[in-house]
Structure 1
Amino acid sequence: MSLAHHLGLFLGLCLVLLARLQMARGLANCPTGCECDDDTLMVNCGEGTLDVLPIALNPAIQRLVIKNNKLKTIDSSMQFYAQLTFLDLSFNDMVSIPERSFAYHAKLQELHLDHNKIGQVSNRTFQGLSTISVLNLRGNLIAELEYRTFSPMGKLAELNLGQNRISHIDPHALDGLVNLRVLYLDDNTLTTVPDELTFQALPSLAELYLGTNSFMTIPSGAFQDLKGLTLLDLRGAGLHNISEDALKGLEALRSMDLSDNRLVTIPTAAFQKLGRLEELNIGQNDFEMISSGAFAGLRELRHLELTGAQRLRRVESGAFTGNSNLEHLNLSSNKQLSELPATALGGLPHLSTVVLKANQLSTLDEGLVPWADLQTLDLSENPFVCDCRLLWLRHLLLSRNSSGQYAPVMCAYPSALRDLPLAQLAEPLLGCAHGAASKQAIIGILVVVCAALITTLALLLYTCRRRIRELLKGHSALGRKEREYQKTFSDEEYMARPPPGCGGVHPAAGGYPYMAGHGGSGRPIPVTEL
């Protein structure tokens, strides 16, 4: 063992004795720019110029925060603070962490080393951290994860490795993390989804962040061992397609982010595996149309974000068939979206929030959704043509004016109404003299139907006027007259006589009523008798 090493140990021992002596006196040396509280056992060093760890703090401290300083490394003075439960050394200039730097910190529960310049870690870096639950290494320069890098930390629940330069992960790098629930691997340089063996070592994983990498595609069954995963973040992962079995095994998934990829179609077949999914963000992709039944497999979907799809032009009728539990729908900032058929959003009885902001919509159908049932509505920043077709929307906005839950709608056309609020326009300005066009059409149809019924009834009355007159005179009088006429007929003639028509005219009489006499002769019946 070198002389320098002996001198280092001797110096460290002296410093420990000095610190314990200060603690015995109830005093601790608090560096300039730090706040030291011996009652709560907390030390917080704000932004400053500290380039080494303080060596004379109270050894009993439990929380130490030295952020936004100029620390270059973790030196031997760290061993003096073996009672730490929380350590934050983020936003410093640390390039490396010496091995066994935390060998004496069996009580440490959270370690934050994010936003430094650390380039490498190994399984010897974190020896001694047997009780740690949170390790944050975000924003460093780590390029790979070696074999069993984090195995000493069996109780680790959250591991943040985002915003590094990781391009390779040993299949057994995460072995031993049986209690890990949250893993950040986003914003690295991975070109493939980590090996299946990597995920097999994480039986408790609930949240996985893999966005901002360059996957292009997802291998079949890549996540099949993550049976308890509830959140999967793949935004900005460079995905061009998602195969039918890519999401196999994710039956428990509740939230997924597929935004900012290169998908040209909605991966409907893959979604069939996600029967419990409640939240989906699939905006900023390359599809041009949302087909009928595009999300058919997502029976429990409640929150859908489909924003910023620069090529999206149309949402087909029945696009959300099977999503009857949908409550929040955001279809904003789709710069070419100009077509929303009347039945595009049909079958959504629980819909409470609709955001159609910043699209290319010029009008909307009144039957698109049950507008009056919505709690939140945003139709702003669309090039609406303010005419009689939007009179219903004007009435709706006026009825909700006091609540502030509905965003104002501004007119784009005609030019005379440009930039004017729709809700403040009088009906004549919208070209509506007698109400909405739909109401006018209904009234017109009713008028035509009524006129047709009246005309038909008049014709019927005119045709049967004589018969009606007979009925009004009463059956008794007619009966007496009929019996008198019957006396002049023989039995055979009477039996052969046809019944009177609607006008009471005998067909053989040439339009005049005759009564047959004896010998076959007849005489005209006087009108008075009729």
Structure 2
Amino acid sequence: MTMTVLFTLLIVTFLQELAHAGGIPGCPTGCMCNDETFVVQCEHSKLDVIPITLNPAIQRLVLRNNKIKTVDAAFQFYRDLQYVDLSYNHLVNIPTKSFLHQEKLQELHLNKNKLSSVTNKTFQGLKSLTVLNLRENFLEELSRGIFSILPKLEELNLGQNRIAKIDPLAFEGLLSLRVLYLDDNLLSTVPTSAFPLMGSLAELHVGLNAFNTLPNDCFKGLSKLSALDLSSGGITNISQDAFKGLTGLRNLNLADNRLEEIPTSQLSHLVRLEELIIGQNEFRALRKAAFKGLTNLRKLDITGAKNLEHIEKGVFSDNMNLETIVLVSNKKLENLEEGALVGLPNLRHLVLRENAFKSLPESVVSWNELRALELTDNPINCDCQLLWLLNLANQKNLTNVQCASPLQLRDKPLKSLTSDDLGCSFGDPTQQVIIVTFCVSATILLAVLGLFLFRYRLKVRDALKDYKFNKRAISRKEHEYQKTFSEDEYTLRAGNCHQLPIKHIPVTEL
């Protein structure tokens, strides 16, 4: 047995005795050492090396925001560690076998350092490691089997590095890997060839890279993938079968790309998709049946689509299970067709903040089913057309809708107004409907009557002439009849009275 090993054992034994005696006097300045929970926190403590005077029984060691440049032999004193955080330090390299004695370690955070390379021996000894965070370092490539000695690894974060090359066998041995971050690197193509080795992968983040096209079958081998993040990647083209095989995908993030149209046919492969985030793209409208085939979609988020102006009726005709629609900060969106959101029996939350809506038709959605509506920060024009919204605001959970116009109502909450404030002659919507219906019916009736008279004007005129002529003829005949009876006949009868003999009636005939 060498002198070094003997010395190490003596120090470990001494520190353990101190721990059992009631505490460790060597807790560094600026650190918090708790011998009951076995937690040591040394944040912003200006440490440049890993301390060796801590309780050997510690299980959680946090050394964030210090000036540590390397991982030395100090870790051999702390064999019960389960969690180590060395993020935000100045680590340039990790010597081989630095973690040889950390067989219980489950989480290792090395993010925000200056590591430019790691090998398949860097993490030797970490048999129980489930989480490895290497985010925000200077890694440039992933060689074959680089993580093969981590059989229990479930989450691997390699985001915000400079990775441009990934060996097809880089993820060999990671049979338990569930979450992988490869976002914000320099990948020129989707690393499809490396995916089949990760058959258990459930979550993949691969946005903000140098590729702008998703070819057919680019996620082949990831049949168990549940969440896919492709945001901020500058994607302009998605091939017809790019998502083929992702039969279990439930969450997809396509935000902040350069899509000019909703990729309707490409998305139709994702029959189990429940959440879609697709804002910050360049499409101008949501067309009819834009999300066709997504029958299980429950949440749609379109935020920051700077060119979006119009949403057509029937856009969600295939999405009967939608529960939440988020349309936020679309600065040109002012046209929502009547009935565009009708026919969604499960819609509960409608978020329409920071758009360009001046008004909103009552028939745009089945309001009775909603639990929450957000309309803040829209240039709302408060007139009688919004009387229905005023009534709804008193019944539903609405965020504070403020008027932008007219001038006398600017910045006033809609809830504080009355029907008179909105310029409505009749406050009761039923009365308005009756009056409008009567006026429309009267107008239609008059129009039909006018059209009838115009079309048959000649016949009407002839009929009137005949009526007047017949009336005059009858009057003349009556006049002649009356004149004949009263003058000629009377004179004749009077003259004959002197000529005709008077007949004597016998008494016996009486």
Identity within the alignment, %: 49
Find the aligned partners of 1:157 and 1:216 in 2 and give their Cα distance. Answer: 29
Do the aligned partners of residues 412 and 36 (structure 1) sit closer, same or farther apart at CA in structure 2, a change above 3 Å counting?
Answer: closer
2:404 to 405, 412, 419: 412
Residue 33 of structure 1 and its aligned partner are, at CA, apart by: 2.1
Find the aligned partners of 1:115 and 1:451 in 2 and give their Cα distance. Answer: 74
Find the aligned partners of 1:244 and 1:448 in 2 and give their Cα distance. Answer: 51
Q: Gaps (5+ residues) in structure 2?
A: 446-473, 475-510
Aligned to 2:279: 283
Deviations 1:443-488 (A, max 9, x none): 34347869999xxxxxxxxxxxxxxxxxxxxxxxxxxxxxxxxxxx
Residue 23 of structure 1 and its aligned partner are, at CA, apart by: 1.2
1:208 to 204, 207, 218: 204
1:127 to 124, 127, 130: 124
User: Does residue 318 of the first structure (1) align with residue 310 of the second (2)?
Assistant: no
Aligned pairs for 1:247-262 within 5 A: 247-262=243-258
Residue 250 of structure 1 and its aligned partner are, at CA, apart by: 0.7
Aligned to 2:467: none
1:422 to 402, 414, 424: 414
Asked if structure 2 preserves the Cα contact closer than 8 Å seen for 1:355 and 1:379, the reply is: yes
User: Does residue 353 of the first structure (1) align with residue 388 of the second (2)?
Assistant: no
Asked if structure 1 preserves the Cα contact closer than 8 Å seen for 2:341 and 2:366, the reply is: no
Asked if structure 2 preserves the Cα contact closer than 8 Å seen for 1:12 and 1:76, the reply is: no
3-state SS of paired residue (1:427): coil
2:10 to 9, 17, 22: 17
Aligned pairs for 1:124-203 within 5 A: 124-196=121-193, 198-203=194-199
3-state SS of paired residue (1:69): coil
Task: Name the stretch that deviates more: 23-32 or 382-391.
Answer: 23-32
Find the aligned partners of 2:38 and 2:334 in 1 and give their Cα distance. Answer: 61
Aligned pairs for 1:292-441 within 5 A: 292-400=288-396, 405-435=397-427, 440-441=432-433
Find the aligned partners of 1:76 and 1:448 in 2 and give their Cα distance. Answer: 90
Residue 157 of structure 1 and its aligned partner are, at CA, apart by: 0.5
Task: Give the aligned residue type for 1:204.
Answer: S
3-state SS of paired residue (2:325): strand
Asked if structure 2 preserves the Cα contact closer than 8 Å seen for 1:106 and 1:129, the reply is: yes
Residue 82 of structure 1 and its aligned partner are, at CA, apart by: 2.2
1:80 to 71, 77, 80: 77
Task: Name the stretch that deviates more: 435-444 or 342-351.
Answer: 435-444
Do the aligned partners of residues 435 and 22 (structure 1) sit closer, same or farther apart at CA in structure 2, a change above 3 Å counting?
Answer: closer
Task: Give the aligned residue type for 2:47.
Answer: L
Asked if structure 1 preserves the Cα contact closer than 8 Å seen for 2:192 and 2:220, the reply is: no
Aligned to 2:239: 243
3-state SS of paired residue (1:354): strand
Do the aligned partners of residues 433 and 139 (structure 1) sit closer, same or farther apart at CA in structure 2, a change above 3 Å counting?
Answer: same
Asked if structure 2 preserves the Cα contact closer than 8 Å seen for 1:186 and 1:209, the reply is: yes
Cα RMSD between the aligned structures? 2.2
Deviations 1:34-80 (A, max 9, x none): 23333333322232111111122232322222111111100122222
Residue 416 of structure 1 and its aligned partner are, at CA, apart by: 2.6
Do the aligned partners of residues 375 and 291 (structure 1) sit closer, same or farther apart at CA in structure 2, a change above 3 Å counting?
Answer: same
Task: Give the aligned residue type for 2:329.
Answer: S
Find the aligned partners of 2:205 and 2:271 in 1 and give their Cα distance. Answer: 21
Residue 246 of structure 1 and its aligned partner are, at CA, apart by: 0.4
Find the aligned partners of 1:259 and 1:225 in 2 and give their Cα distance. Answer: 24
TM-score, normalised by the number of residues in structure 1: 0.79
Find the aligned partners of 1:226 and 1:356 in 2 and give their Cα distance. Answer: 35
Residue 122 of structure 1 and its aligned partner are, at CA, apart by: 1.0
3-state SS of paired residue (2:55): coil
Task: Give the aligned residue type for 2:9.
Answer: V
Deviations 1:201-236 (A, max 9, x none): 101100111122222011210112101110001110
Asked if structure 2 preserves the Cα contact closer than 8 Å seen for 1:391 and 1:436, the reply is: no
3-state SS of paired residue (2:238): coil
Q: Gaps (5+ residues) in structure 1?
A: 1-5, 454-509, 511-530
Deviations 1:363-413 (A, max 9, x none): 11111112233111111111122211111111111334xxxx311222222
Deviations 1:269-319 (A, max 9, x none): 111111111111100100001000001111011111011100001001101
Task: Name the stretch that deviates more: 243-252 or 434-443.
Answer: 434-443
Residue 257 of structure 1 and its aligned partner are, at CA, apart by: 0.7
Aligned to 1:51: 48
Aligned to 1:502: none
Asked if structure 2 preserves the Cα contact closer than 8 Å seen for 1:231 and 1:256, the reply is: yes
Do the aligned partners of residues 437 and 171 (structure 1) sit closer, same or farther apart at CA in structure 2, a change above 3 Å counting?
Answer: same
Find the aligned partners of 1:194 and 1:447 in 2 and give their Cα distance. Answer: 67
Do the aligned partners of residues 12 and 48 (structure 1) sit closer, same or farther apart at CA in structure 2, a change above 3 Å counting?
Answer: farther
Task: Give the aligned residue type for 2:401.
Answer: V
Do the aligned partners of residues 447 and 192 (structure 1) sit closer, same or farther apart at CA in structure 2, a change above 3 Å counting?
Answer: closer
Do the aligned partners of residues 12 and 191 (structure 1) sit closer, same or farther apart at CA in structure 2, a change above 3 Å counting?
Answer: farther
Residue 361 of structure 1 and its aligned partner are, at CA, apart by: 1.2
Residue 141 of structure 1 and its aligned partner are, at CA, apart by: 1.4
